Amino acid sequence: MTVFLCGNSQLAALAEGVAEGRDPAAGPAGGAVVDGELTIFPLGNGKHEPTAFSRLTPEGVVFEPRQYAANLQRYAGRTAIAPGDTWGFLTINHNVRIYRDPMWKTYVPSALDLPGTPVTDDLLATIVARDHAGVRGLFAQLQEAGVDFFAVSAPHPRQDGTAVRNGVPRPVIAYLDALSRSLWRSWLGERGIGLVEPPPSTVTPDGFLDAAYGAGPDSDGRLDPHHANAAYGALMLARVREFLTTR
């Protein structure tokens, strides 16, 4: 069985997690990272996720963004996602799109006792659901096509992330992130779609990614305030494997 694990930039940590030495046989294969039955490759930038980026065709589900379609072909040798393989999508809870917005310096979830213009939970859910729209569409199409697939969650927010540095209150970030995770959990659960969530050990009590699991500077020394590291990826891969063997 081949299991393709693909997604946005948060997938990089999982690919790097393979190199943590959990499987000596793992290694690059045409740019994708192969770890036993797992083939890990990027679809591309997560910016496409809030809007429709896929469609169902007689051949299966195809991607509209050129980058996604090209990577599907390049790494998986597929032009469409059809029944026959198993697919994991790390395309959910990329919540930085929501909590990094400057509006959170003046607006605040009404459940939090913080100064600012209150935003009700229902309205927040509407905002978050809009952010989920494209991926929900993809998952609905995959179900209709009969594809075996599951969802993999992105890590929790970085404590040193752009939003924190730009002054968005930490409780606001944590609240929005938790709301999104809750909505995804419900939506996927209602449809019987499997979900792999981050290990609790990687999350601080107030809902952020533990600093030990944050990606370090890149090879040019530039700060990456956004992603998780290989250690996180290794833990997440273990959860993926556990999910695949126990589902």
Partner 1 sequence: MGESVRGNHPYVGLPRSAYWKQAVSEVSPLHLDGLYEPRFTIDGDTRISAAGSCFAQHIGRQFKLRGFRFMDFEPPPPLLDPADYPAYSFDLFSARYGNLYSARQLVQLFERAAGEFTPLDGAWSESTPDGERWYDPYRPIVEPRGFGSLEELERSRAAHLDAVARILPSTDVFVFTFGLTEAWRNTADGAVYPTCPGTIHGEYDAAAHEFVNFSYPEVLADFEAFLARARAVNPAMRFLVTVSPVPLTATASGRHVLSATMASKSILRAVCAELYNRYDYVDYFPSYELVAAHPMRAMFFDPNLRTVAPRGVAHVMDTFFAAHPSPGPAAAAPAAASASAEDDAVCDEAILETFGS
Residues forming beta bridges with residue 42, ordered by sequence position:
7
Among 5, 8, 38, 214, binds partner 1 (CB under 8 A): 8
Binding partner 1 (rule: CB under 8 A), the pick from 25, 122, 190, 205 is: 122
> Does residue 32 belong to the site contacting partner 1 (CB under 8 A)?
yes
Nearer Cβ to partner 1 (46/207): 46
Rounded CA separation 114/105 (Å): 11
Number of residues near partner 1 (by CB under 8 A): 47
Tokens of 51: 């809007």
Tokens 């459940």, located at residue: 111
Q: Measured from the CB atom, is 144 or 223 closer to partner 1?
A: 223
Q: Please give the residues from 189 up to 218 whose contact with partner 1 meets the rule CB under 8 A.
A: 215, 218
Q: Where are the alpha helices (DSSP H) in 77-167?
A: 96-99, 121-145, 162-165
Q: Interaction with partner 1 in 214-243: which residues (CB under 8 A)?
A: 215, 218-219, 222, 224-227
Q: Is 107 in the site for partner 1 (CB under 8 A)?
A: yes
Question: Applying CB under 8 A, does 15 fall inside the site for partner 1?
Answer: yes
Q: Taking CB under 8 A as the rule, does residue 130 contact partner 1?
A: yes
| Token reading at 69 | 């379609």
Distance CA 226, CA 9 (A): 10
Residue 57 CA to chain centroid, in angstroms? 25
Q: Which is nearer to partner 1, 31 or 84 (CB)?
A: 31
- The one segment of 54-62, 161-169, 181-189, 200-208 that binds partner 1 by CB under 8 A: 161-169
Q: Which tokens is 90 given?
A: 């790390």
Contacts of 198 (CB under 8 A, 6+ apart): 153, 155, 156, 209, 232, 236, 239
Q: Residue 191 CB, nearest distance to partner 1 (Å)?
A: 19
* 166 binds partner 1, rule: CB under 8 A: yes
* Position 27 contacts partner 1 (CB under 8 A): no
End-to-end, the C-alpha distance of the chain in Å comes to 15
Structure tokens given for 244: 């695949």
Stated as kind and residue range, the H or E segment containing 246 is helix 230-246
Binding site for partner 1 (CB under 8 A): 8-9, 12, 15-16, 31-33, 41-42, 44-47, 71, 74, 96-98, 100-103, 107, 110-111, 117-123, 126-127, 130, 162-163, 166, 215, 218-219, 222, 224-227
